[in-house]
């Protein structure tokens, strides 16, 4: 039997939406208040969905402790309470939540092999959430 598991994690991070290829005026037009030179922060809610066959002995898709450890080590320690603009993943990418969702998916795909990674969903605000389920590699 195949099943899906979604696990939720919370982290806080700041960012400034700014593209060096655009003028200051264009950046203000495109990103509005999110282009504030001092940045702004979010309390993100991350949902990680994995799937797999339910193990006959354990009754589980994967070990939750192993998933939690991977998310803690690879994602939360990397992104929690940091300015995303300073992260290696965003040296050439604007740290939008769309790009952050893709980065998180790629990091988990490389580091969690105990179950199939289906998608990540990242809630930025009560009004904005983004899902990424693979397909394209990070743009540079």
Dump pLDDT digits (tens) for 23-35. Answer: 999 999 999 999 9
- Mean pLDDT rounded to a whole number for the chain: 95
pTM as predicted: 0.93
- What is the band of 1 on the pLDDT scale with cuts at 50, 70, 90? confident
Instruction: Evaluate whether residue 138 is within a structural domain.
Output: no
Instruction: Let me know if residue 84 belongs to a domain.
Output: yes
CATH code of the domain covering residue 52:
3.30.479.10
Residue 12 lies in a domain: yes
Q: Which two tokens stand for residue 28?
A: 């203000």
Query: Do 96 and 87 contact (CB within 8 A), yes or no?
Result: no
| Number of structural domains the chain divides into | 1
Can you tell me the mean pLDDT for 110-124? 97
> Catalytic amino acids?
34, 81, 124
- Mean pLDDT calculated for residue range 93-119: 97
In a domain, 137, yes or no: no
What is the extent of the structural domain holding 115?
Answer: 2-132
Q: What is the mean pLDDT of residues 57-77?
A: 97
The average pLDDT across 36-42 equals 96
- Domain assignment present for residue 86? The answer is yes
pLDDT (mean) for 38-54: 97
Mean pLDDT of the 123-127 span: 96
Is 85 within a domain?
yes
- Helices 97-111/64-71 angle, 10° precision: 130
Q: 63: how many CB neighbours lie within 10 A of its CB?
A: 13
- What pLDDT score does 139 carry? 55
Say what percent of the chain tops pLDDT 90.
95
Q: Is the pLDDT of residue 39 over 80?
A: yes
What confidence category does residue 135 fall into, taking pLDDT thresholds of 50, 70 and 90? confident
139 in a domain, yes or no? no
Whether residue 54 is contained in a domain is answered as yes
**DSSP letters along 16-53, please?**
----TTS-HHHHHHHHGGGG-TT-EEEEEEEEEEEEEE
């Amino acid at each position: 039997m195949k099943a899906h598991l979604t696990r939720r994690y919370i982290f806080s991070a700041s960012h400034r939406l700014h593209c060096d290829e655009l003028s200051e005026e264009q950046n203000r037009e495109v990103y509005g208040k999110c282009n504030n030179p001092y940045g702004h922060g979010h309390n993100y809610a991350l949902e990680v969905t994995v799937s797999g066959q339910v193990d006959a002995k354990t009754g589980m898709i994967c070990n939750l402790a192993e998933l939690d450890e991977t998310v803690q080590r690879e994602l939360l320690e990397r992104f929690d309470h940091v300015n995303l603009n300073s992260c290696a993943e965003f040296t050439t990418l604007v740290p939008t939540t769309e790009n952050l969702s893709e980065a998180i998916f790629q990091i988990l795909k490389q580091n969690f092999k105990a179950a199939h990674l289906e998608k990540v969903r990242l809630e930025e605000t009560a009004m904005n959430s983004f899902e990424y389920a693979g397909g394209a590699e990070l743009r540079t």
